[in-house]
Structure 1
């Protein structure tokens, strides 16, 4: 294995992988007019400190998608088409930012895809930086992405959308309209200048709030409510000599603690309280032990309507695109294409799942890099197997039988490969043969446009 990786490391691995992917796309008829790109990290054991200068790949600490920030890592960059077939892949340094990788890939995209026409580049919010947008404009490449909330334009556009309230209802983006958990979408479109580029901004309102955002809002409300109740308690303990002083104190407190998700009620109350004496001994005969003071009786409660509106705003996001042709690329299609970003996200578990790929125990960065490219080659084959099976099943009368009993018209590559786990090859008198007690998945082989000759045996007459 090590010698094989050494041989691979001596080749131009990016060119080798690129050639394989380009040839596969041409032979299989894989469309590359739209590509979805993303990155992930792969953690490794070991230091690799003394050898980083000797090799192209720097295995070092960086932002870990696995949460293993104490481990060194390398990164995997991947671009796929709508069907999830890899069309570009990179193994790169563990501390390279997504922004840098996106910018470099955009600059090389047309050449690496051997594309006559510039493709549409779909990526997450890491591509939304001035360098990437400038590079895309220079290369004539159109971008679809999500505007990160670090941009002030996000709040401005969402506020404008709610102010205009001119939503276009798109419904659910699933085949099964009876799926109660599926989100339905509404959109509004605006033009806005982002990092010097006039972009089409699609404000999207989802009927469902994702779980992480909902938990964040609920936790924030709980924490804020607790802080406000403590602050109200401290305020109500204070006494004031006159009503104007109490009212001024309340207004000052309200300025410091006002929150749109909470309602505040307050009343200035005149009351009597016992005086405290600084001097010891018997008080004077004319001394009045009580004095008139003013207190603030205040309460805080959640504003249900305001909270509902906040959750509505938080369920909005902004998809941006440099595609100017609204007829060829209407706003709905832009959103649908962005939602297909999961096509690339679903591929990363294939190269990271410990059931498929164990820990990386290699002592040199060049071998780690070679292994990374082997994983991308395997992912290409895996994806083509899935694509062939699904394409064949589109016109099939019956679904494919999966291992364990269920059936499907859209099996994953894993479920297809499971049908071959029991296959065995034996040698009889020097000839390869399939045991008689092994059930050959003939129908699955037909879906893949293959036959038993892939096992080195002759098909039965």
Structure 2
């Protein structure tokens, strides 16, 4: 059924329009319009009666009445005061409550009363990282003027944000809040926590020097994974599940070595009583002391092993003969057990496609080296011939040509970051040549990587695929640095640096939960729900907030996340 208009013309040429309620039906295979009700001339319609009819139909369908009509009556029209996005913030807020983060923070604050709702301020800071990351001062203006933060009318300046950050990490709150939130997420998403993936990264500060007030200060120079060795930094550790859900984060001084942090990670997670846990880490954490510590209290590990460093056990595992087992099109595995090492299993993994790429890349580099060595040799020969010809013309003894230019070219080739590894320098002549023994040794490692595990139950296939999931930790770091703008950090106090990382961790958690429940990237979710606005309308009879129409795609995102949609009407205020 639908409303349609018809018209007729009077003798004087004027048009008269009529409104009808019609319905289409098929007669003899053709669609014909059937008039159900003649509502009368368009210029004489009772519009209030039509509105009451629409309201009655809405009530029957279970939808709210349109309450904007009484506010803009004959006394004057409605005016739009503001329009701000609410969709993405609403989703994050509902997930925030669903994971019990608000409850965990309330428990941490221990019933203390503040002039500002600290929990709402912290949510605004987390939402700002996920939607439009900026400084804490910019986050206050963003939360007050640019978006709708439920329960937070405004965020007054920078002081409230910094005070909330101080309260977030007060005492032992960091570990307690993370533990409560993680177990809520594990229960909500039915997460598997038998494998915990751990990795570290670094992030820098825009300042010239490191902190000198204390030896335990966070901002220190160290090995930068951001390729900014000129700036002080901190080291961040992150543990995630195989689904990419963050478990916990840590912050250490920028000069901290990877081999020194695994004991703290093990101790902190052990207090959570996760049950049977296999820690997955890369080769940077595979010292014998760390591996022994990970096996305490029934724990186990899966770790990468450095193949190019001197290790008799690694060499023995790679040299052991055996048949590979096909796991996937691009992965074969072979399990090896060594005598004298009964508590450890070795898994050799081979990727045929990667082996072909390694061989092709190496051949290209060797060709470039050969061409450069040939060019240098020809240049030397040409200089020698030129000197000899000049001596023959002048009748003088030939002068030995200056070899400094050619030696400089050889030094540049030897010190090249990718080509120099294939060269060796002869002790007598100091000439360069390709190290064929190094080439043969590297060719045996094409497409291979070596794993070690202490778990006696996991199959070689599960070990290999479990280690590949370590990419989830690396993906989380990329999200924190790009989407959440973790870097550069502009805080000075150590406590606020830790709070900044924890805010990014909470934002990452909300993002991963939304992605997992919807099967959609956060960028798509953010852009789609960002089109939902809350419009503030004001009229002579009062004011209210109305949410723009929600599309089927947007409704599906809310449904997949298991949260309700924003209300159509809210904040109704009348002048009576």
Match for 2:229 among 42, 55, 69?
69
Question: How far does the alpha carbon of each residue in 1:6-25 deviate from its partner, in whole angstroms, 9 at most, with x for none?
Answer: 33243432332232222322
State which of 104, 124, 129 in structure 1 corresponds to 2:282.
124
- Contact 1:125/1:147 (<8 A) preserved: yes
Question: Offset of 1:74 from its aligned partner?
Answer: 1.4
Q: Which one is further off, 123-132 or 99-108?
A: 99-108
- What per-residue deviation string (whole Å, max 9, x for no partner) do you get for residues 162-195 of structure 1? xx352222232xxxxxxxxxxx22222111379x
Q: Please list, as runs of the form range in 1=range in 2, the aligned pairs for 1:254-333 lying within 5 A after superposition.
A: 310-311=442-443, 313-325=445-457, 329-333=458-462
Separation in structure 1 between the aligned mates of residue 205 and residue 342 of structure 2, nearest angstrom: 40
Pair 1:136–1:213, CA change in 2 (3 A) = farther
The within-5 A match list for 1:11-410 is 11-12=171-172, 13-46=174-207, 49-50=210-211, 52-53=213-214, 58-112=218-272, 114-115=273-274, 117-149=275-307, 150-152=309-311, 153-160=313-320, 164=321, 166-172=323-329, 184-192=330-338, 198-209=343-354, 215=361, 218-219=364-365, 222-223=368-369, 310-311=442-443, 313-325=445-457, 329-353=458-482, 356-357=485-486, 359-390=488-519
Q: Using the alignment, how far apart are the partners of 1:145 and 1:357 within structure 2?
A: 27
Are residues 358 and 167 of structure 1, via their aligned partners in 2, closer, same or farther at CA, if it must alter by over 3 Å?
closer
SS in 2 for 1:209: helix
Counterpart Cα distance in 1 of 2:363 and 2:379: 24
Length, aligned pairs only: 354
Distance 1:155 1:418 in 2: 51
Please tell me whether Structure 1 or Structure 2 has the larger radius of gyration of its CA atoms.
2
User: Taking structure 1 as reference, are residues 224 and 52 closer, same or farther at Cα in structure 2, changes over 3 Å only?
Assistant: farther
Match of 2:524 in 1: 415
Shift of 1:198: 3.4
Q: Against the structure 1 CA distance between its residues 107 and 422, is the aligned structure 2 distance closer, same or farther, given a 3 Å change threshold? A: same
In 2, are the aligned partners of 1:103 and 1:127 still within 8 Å (CA)? no
Tell me: CA distance 1:191–1:375, structure 2 relative to 1, closer, same or farther (3 Å): same
RMSD: 3.7
Shift of 1:439: 8.2
Q: What is the TM-score normalised by the length of structure 2?
A: 0.54
Contact 1:204 1:316 (8 Å CA) reproduced: yes
TM-score, length-scaled by structure 1: 0.67
Cα 1:24–1:146 shift into 2, 3 Å: same
Q: Which runs of 5+ in 2 are unaligned?
A: 1-160, 385-421, 424-432, 572-576
* SS state at 1:419 partner: helix
Alpha-carbon distance in 2 for matches of 1:143, 1:455: 51
Measured after TM superposition, the shift of residue 356 of structure 1 is 4.3
C-alpha displacement at 1:233, in angstroms? Answer: 12
> What is the alpha-carbon distance in structure 1 between the residues aligned to residue 201 and residue 221 of structure 2?
13
Provide closer, same or farther for how the CA distance between residues 9 and 307 of structure 1 changes in structure 2, counting only shifts above 3 A. closer
The structural deviation recorded for 1:416 is: 2.2
Whether the aligned pair in 1 keeps the contact of 2:548 and 2:568 (CA below 8 Å) is no
SS of corresponding position for 2:207: coil
Q: Secondary structure of 1:352's match?
A: helix
Q: Could you say which residue in structure 2 is the equivalent of 1:449?
A: 562
Of 15-24 and 437-446, the range deviating more from structure 2 = 437-446
Residues 49 and 193 from structure 1, CA distance in 2 versus in 1: closer, same or farther, beyond 3 angstroms?
farther
State the alpha-carbon separation in 2 of the partners of residues 415 and 128 from structure 1: 38
2:167 equivalent to 1:7: yes
Q: 2:195–2:279: 8 Å Cα contact kept in structure 1?
A: yes
8 A contact 1:86–1:379 mirrored in 2? yes
